[in-house]
A and B are shown apart, each in its own frame.
Chain A
Amino acid sequence: MSGDAIIAQNLIYSYGQLLAVDDISFKVAEGEILGFLGPNGAGKSTTVKMLTGQLQPKGGQATLLGIDVARNPEKVQGNIGVCFELPNLYEQMSAEENLDLFARLFGIRSFDTDALLERVGLAGREHGRVEGYSKGMKQRLMMARALVNRPSILFLDEPTEGLDPMSSETIRNIILQERERGATVFLTTHDMMEADKLSDRVAFIDNGKIVVLDTPHNLKQQYGKRALKVEVARPDGGLESHEVILDKPETAGDVQGLFSKERVVTVHSEEASLEDIFIEITGRGLVG
């Protein structure tokens, strides 16, 4: 094994004439969280489907944990966990039955359902039918299902979209715990804040191509505006905003001047968000 959990080499997929994924290559290291960002129709889901063995690439190769996905999808699927965007649970069955079923599909004989359900905050609800669960509870159960086989790689598709803060926090904590355990996480999301908080690196995909792949920090360094926003009190009681550009010879003097001459109320660093960077690179937003 190379130390890379996921290797995508020149992956291509098309639906008829529509080129959905256009010759993309990237690697994800073991224990890394990669945020995979892009607008609807950019090729995110198709890429995930090729990586998880649901689609055969029309070109290129996907290797997970050193195994060629196209040649041995079942072996790969035994080592991954997938959490889908929309709930696809057996709603007439209980949480316990859902997890037991998937444990058996993974060939796991002894499995502590209660411990896993407690981890996702569903302890005490294990016997109730899933159809009576809230959206947040279903999403947490989906997360639990993805963890049944203690996967080496986790594929998460919008895991916190539309969830209440408590459910979102539970899921974020689990993602970080999984990374601590050594799992690789492939996180597909629209939520830039979430990607920023969780991802070691982010990849932007647009029109089937990866347009940038780097750490959020590096991207902000490269594309962001390094500046301070200083608000000072005016004599009439209002606030006045000043922008101090960093990395200039006169920056220190400007800051000092403001503090000595004005009554400074707030100072904020102005940092570009991943959304700003995506717009700057692709010329369009992530949603839509």
Chain B
Amino acid sequence: MNWQIVRALITKDFKLYFRNRFFALITVLALVMYIVIYFVMPQTVDETLEMAVYAPVLPPILEQAGSPGLELVLMESEEQLKEAVTDGEYLAGVVVPPDLMDKLMSGEKGQLDVYFSTDTPEELQDSITVLLEEMAYLQTGQMSSVHISPEVLGRDMVGIQIPMRDRLLPMLAVVILMMEMLGLASLISSEVVGRTVQALLITPMTIRGLFAAKLIMGVSLAFVQVLLFMAVTGGLNQQPLIIILALLLGAIMVTGIGFLVASGSKEMTTVMAWGMPAMIILSVPAFGVLAPGTVSDWVRAVPSYYLVDAVHQAVNFNAGWSDIWDNLLILLGFDIVFVWLGITVLGRKLR
């Protein structure tokens, strides 16, 4: 491959990209907008106490409970309670055994199992424990009448709660990457429609050289933008190498998808027609990070899941290589598939 030719093509592509007023404007504006969105999102978490309760026999004290800042929701089973707490629907859940009242009345010590969501702050866990002990005291008039055994379901997030804006980071990263995918697809399809690619292909430039140039251009455009975004928003403060690698693999993946979109497009309208559904599908895993429990396991079938999860784990949980290597490996697999598929389908169209 002649790298001087590849360099000439990349220079030309960047020139054309930034001379397209729409893409030049949207690239800069969108980046600024995403950074603004990040910073206007709440930095603190909502600590309103929503507590799930499973009690086959509801103690009178719980019947009367409920005040501003405290909401009790009755569950039908212990399993349902655990699932709801695990999914983050409730910050805490209490399982009240049916014989609790009998034990308390007979002077025996009762048992309460309390489950906390990973997001429940440590202070809130303590407060809930104290609240339950207080309720038992009000019911029996005796101190230490119940034994409370707390358990955090899922990863213990005590002291590391995730503010909304940090949950938003993976989604914004995916959206930035996908926007560049649309830009690349539009650039390629305009070359096909304008037949400039035909002029290129009767020079000593090979189709391999052409794809190398497009790949480098597409990846660097997406990668640099998303990296800039992450740097400004503090997304690279922990595990920077893992995050950079994940974003690079993500940029390669969207470039491959960009080739596919370009192969089915004739101009901007068809680029959007193909690109938007792809963008929506690839954004779904990020919703799972924004609102835990809203998406099921099928989300693992969406290729961007492994990018979103890797970024989320590294940025928000300081996860290391041992936690994320499998995500990165699967992402690399999707990269190979999409780039190969994109080059094959688009290459057929160009020839």
Q: Which A residues fall within an 8 A CB radius of B?
A: 52-54, 74-75, 77-78, 80, 82, 84, 86, 88-93, 97, 101-102, 104-107, 145
Indicate if B105 sits at the interface (CB-CB under 8 A).
no
- A residues near B12, Cβ cutoff 8 Å: 90, 93, 101
Given known contacts A93-B15, A101-B8, A107-B2, is B194 in contact with A88 (CB within 8 Å)? yes
Given known contacts A84-B195, A90-B12, is B202 in contact with A77 (CB within 8 Å)? yes
Partner of B199, one of A88, A92, A97, A107: A88
State whether B204 touches A78 (Cβ < 8 A).
yes
Given known contacts A82-B199, A104-B5, A105-B8, is B16 in contact with A93 (CB within 8 Å)? yes
Complex Cα gap A53–B8 (Å): 22
Q: Looking across the interface, which residue of chain A has its beta carbon closest to that of B17?
A: A92
Mask, B1-32, CB within 8 Å of A = 1, is 01011001100100110011000000000000
Q: Which B residues fall within an 8 A CB radius of A?
A: 2, 4-5, 8-9, 12, 15-16, 19-20, 194-196, 198-206
Q: Looking across the interface, which residue of chain B has its beta carbon closest to that of A148?
A: B203
Given known contacts A92-B16, A104-B8, A105-B5, is B199 in contact with A145 (CB within 8 Å)? yes
A-B pair count, CB < 8 Å, reads: 62
Q: 5 A-B residue contacts at CB 8 Å?
A: A54-B198, A84-B195, A89-B199, A106-B203, A107-B5
- What distance in Å separates the Cβ of B337 from its nearest Cβ neighbour in chain A? 28
- A residues near B5, Cβ cutoff 8 Å: 104-105, 107
- What distance in Å separates the Cβ of B22 from its nearest Cβ neighbour in chain A? 12
Partner of A84, one of B199, B203, B205: B199
State whether A90 touches B16 (Cβ < 8 A).
yes
- What distance in Å separates the Cβ of A149 from its nearest Cβ neighbour in chain B? 8
Q: Looking across the interface, which residue of chain A has its beta carbon closest to that of B20?
A: A92
State whether B203 touches A102 (Cβ < 8 A).
yes
- B residues near A106, Cβ cutoff 8 Å: 203-204
State whether A88 touches B16 (Cβ < 8 A).
no
Given known contacts A74-B204, A77-B204, A92-B20, is B198 in contact with A84 (CB within 8 Å)? yes
- What distance in Å separates the Cβ of A80 from its nearest Cβ neighbour in chain B? 7
State whether A54 touches B196 (Cβ < 8 A).
no
Complex Cα gap A52–B200 (Å): 12
Give 7 closest A-B pairs by Cβ, nearest first: A88-B195, A104-B8, A105-B203, A92-B19, A78-B204, A74-B204, A82-B202
Partner of A90, one of B8, B196, B198, B201: B196
- B residues near A80, Cβ cutoff 8 Å: 202
9 further A-B contacts with Cβ under 8 Å, apart from A54-B202, A77-B202, A102-B203, are A52-B202, A77-B204, A78-B204, A90-B196, A92-B15, A104-B4, A104-B5, A105-B9, A105-B205
